Structure 1
């Protein structure tokens, strides 16, 4: 295992080097300015479309299996997870308070990236042999680019299939098992078995059942966690101005060692802020558009406006609350990391704060496992056909208890590495297909939201 860890560490150092950070931020900036800051300026429009898309279409006039609202909730179920609780804490532990600033930067440009992903996913989605809509990076690469790029779609599907078992399954189960063990004294293997049964009950119902569960659990749990986080900030309101000052200062000067904090250079703040930001909101990863491809809509841009809200909600709201809570309470110098650090911050300000974090983490991670099962399933379907869906679901369910009892350090390392490997082909494809995104967006706003022409869904090839 040590040899394998060394190999993955070496790969991680390459894929998360300066080139990756430039690629993520560069593509995001290119799209942001290419769209003339539209993702930021049209946030209100996105929320209006989200509210209007709460109810599933009953008369079949719109293609897709789930409502636009449930498509976003399925996407958010996969993004609001350990990244918001353990990931933010890890970023601050390794990169200092300045890492939070770089997470914000990643989110601001990531809104444009997430918008473009969803636009392309709906524009180039297909209808499979079971009559279900399927899409994502592998499909917009295959259907949007020339045949010489087909290998890029295959590469994404391979990385996505493997990555799902890291970021979307074992990491989530592992974090929950550790949090439950620490706070309630339940053995990790017991937690793993219980989660396995619950995941299995939902997963066998397919994306419609997953969308229904996510549509109910995600808003409820996110509201509860945000309310508790705001309470922590209110208790420590006097420290908020100093916290913002520390965040901005350390983002550009680094952070000196103090207490249990080992110190961090500027590069570490950037590296872990961007990496954990991408881990949390998944902008550029290519995962979220797989869920949005199943939305009941005829207009790619309308779904893109809904999709970009995922990055806003995930990072600029939920992650910010977690990071600020850790900083204003002073717990960031305690030497704790991961979910334990967030628990310490909430526990320092609220009665039973550590239990609030444990319960929140459990629900978030559970929904993340559900959301990522959709992503992994679609990657497997692209590679091996619909016949591979059932075997994948069985392996996915059985992986939950394995992750719960595994090594946290190795699992985080593997997930972090797979994130980057997924992002590379997706970001290349988005950059190459950006003219399509710009054209559809211009047409949408010029026609006040009318459906673009040539939106016939592609049938599967024989």
Structure 2
């Protein structure tokens, strides 16, 4: 029965992520927005990073959490098992060349991430409890007039509330359970119980509790993993030139069979690179716009730039370290069956004793838990926009129960389900981004002309915003 289900899901996934649907739409949208915004992600990255981490919070503005907490909540939801297991899965099926396409997806996706975060703040509303409610389920309906925009918003909200159980729950809990069993010998059901308790306790506090928790431990968990990965790459420095060459050549030639690797065409490298790239950084999916909409900010451009840095951190830093260690260590050709423990094996080849496995397993626990609580918020906000505020608590409770079940779910089924759900929620959002790209480009140019260094005082920004968008807030 499981084999039949996996076969059916695999067929659907191959269509959704095939050469005629999401891959050209994702890359094409990212490229189009990059051109339309004048290479915004390359021109403003330094300023955006400074504003995100050093300029301080924009207190006194409408919103539920600080712009930094909105960033760490979005990072919490994106820096998850996709950065460890997802990258390994892409390389184990698509070959080393898949990492190149993950990079391409990330670089182009920064423009998509900026655009959706901008729109999330620009069109946000206040729900029945006085909390900010925004994201594609809101901006598609408010920004695109008529029934078409409403239909796109409905489809996104429907798919996002379901997809949260895949990308933000099943795959996360399953990967944690596998890592805990492999490294520490902990039975999966025990891991499931622990995650159940901590997830339920966190979700009861809502977005304020989520923001406080993620702002405290997300930077720490990323630093621990990045430092560990850099040590591994330093110890494997003599292998890095050949590894990088292999990544670039295999991206355009495919990869021959060797070891446990069955071989891959260019199309497989592109497909799994793009699919795992979006799974990792979520650019174009619209999910990060939900967290961005809760931020206290004086203008959508400011939060859009802050949110854009999330993709850079996720893909160009964390994912790169994972992919390079896997390829440089030589464990990439062990076969897809070893994807769950491949990163751990890569770290272990360079670090003494059990240090490699321990660093990866501990990082996986933190990454996955943060993703679970971040996506619980995304799914809940999407469902609330569909059926009302009453659904908030039941959704949190159901999500918490599934966290336990995720620890004992077969990983192949979980990944296939997540790929399909991710694709279905990305489709309406990408269409909406293309339609509203002109508005975003026009208003972005105007704001950056007014405040090119993102240093204008709060009162000046408020006056500009009132003149540019009189009905905002």
Give the corresponding residue for 2:430. Answer: 427
Assess if the C-alpha contact under 8 Å between 1:96 and 1:255 holds in 2.
yes
1:31 Cα deviation after fit: 0.3
Q: SS state of the match for residue 262, structure 1?
A: coil
Q: SS state of the match for residue 384, structure 2?
A: helix
Give the corresponding residue for 2:283. Answer: 283
Given candidates 35, 38, 43, the residue that maps to 1:36 is 38
1:394 Cα deviation after fit: 0.6
Give the corresponding residue for 2:458. Answer: none
Q: SS state of the match for residue 61, structure 2?
A: coil
| Cα distance per residue 1:259-318 (max 9 Å; x no partner) | 121111111111100000000000001111000000001200111100110110001100
- Give the distance between the partners of 1:12 and 1:392, measured in 2 at CA: 26
Give the corresponding residue for 2:73. Answer: 74
- Give the distance between the partners of 2:376 and 2:240, measured in 1 at CA: 38
1:454 Cα deviation after fit: 2.2
Assess if the C-alpha contact under 8 Å between 2:384 and 2:392 holds in 1.
yes
1:51 Cα deviation after fit: 2.1
1:213-232 matches, within 5 Å, as 213-232=213-232
Give the corresponding residue for 2:457. Answer: none
Assess if the C-alpha contact under 8 Å between 1:298 and 1:455 holds in 2.
no
| Cα distance per residue 1:404-429 (max 9 Å; x no partner) | 11111101100011110011000000
Give the corresponding residue for 1:15. Answer: 16
Which deviates the most, 362-371 or 256-265? 256-265
Give the corresponding residue for 1:83. Answer: 82
**2:369 matches 1:366:** yes
State the TM-score, normalizing by the size of structure 2: 0.94
| Cα distance per residue 1:48-88 (max 9 Å; x no partner) | 2102454462xxx3010111111010000000000000000
1:455 Cα deviation after fit: 5.2
- Give the distance between the partners of 1:323 and 1:388, measured in 2 at CA: 40
Assess if the C-alpha contact under 8 Å between 2:203 and 2:373 holds in 1.
yes
1:179 Cα deviation after fit: 0.6
Which deviates the most, 81-90 or 43-52? 43-52
Gap change, CA 1:455 and 1:331, over 3 Å in 2: farther
- Give the distance between the partners of 1:313 and 1:218, measured in 2 at CA: 12
Q: SS state of the match for residue 308, structure 1?
A: helix
Assess if the C-alpha contact under 8 Å between 1:95 and 1:272 holds in 2.
yes
Give the corresponding residue for 1:140. Answer: 139
1:338 Cα deviation after fit: 2.2
Give the corresponding residue for 2:151. Answer: 151
Assess if the C-alpha contact under 8 Å between 1:123 and 1:455 holds in 2.
no
- Give the distance between the partners of 2:404 and 2:153, measured in 1 at CA: 31
Give the corresponding residue for 1:324. Answer: 324
Aligned-residue Cα RMSD (Å) equals 1.2
Assess if the C-alpha contact under 8 Å between 1:171 and 1:403 holds in 2.
yes
**2:170 matches 1:170:** yes
Which blocks of at least 5 consecutive residues in structure 2 are unaligned? Answer: 455-460
**2:64 matches 1:49:** no
- Give the distance between the partners of 2:55 and 2:283, measured in 1 at CA: 22
Which deviates the most, 151-160 or 254-263? 254-263
1:202 Cα deviation after fit: 0.8
- Give the distance between the partners of 1:98 and 1:206, measured in 2 at CA: 41
- Give the distance between the partners of 1:446 and 1:395, measured in 2 at CA: 47
- Give the distance between the partners of 1:377 and 1:356, measured in 2 at CA: 32
Assess if the C-alpha contact under 8 Å between 1:114 and 1:304 holds in 2.
yes
1:439-450 matches, within 5 Å, as 439-448=442-451, 450=461
1:10-409 matches, within 5 Å, as 10-18=11-19, 19-52=21-54, 54-55=56-57, 57=59, 61-149=60-148, 150-335=150-335, 337-351=338-352, 352-409=355-412
Assess if the C-alpha contact under 8 Å between 1:106 and 1:278 holds in 2.
yes
| Cα distance per residue 1:199-232 (max 9 Å; x no partner) | 1111100001101110011100000100000000
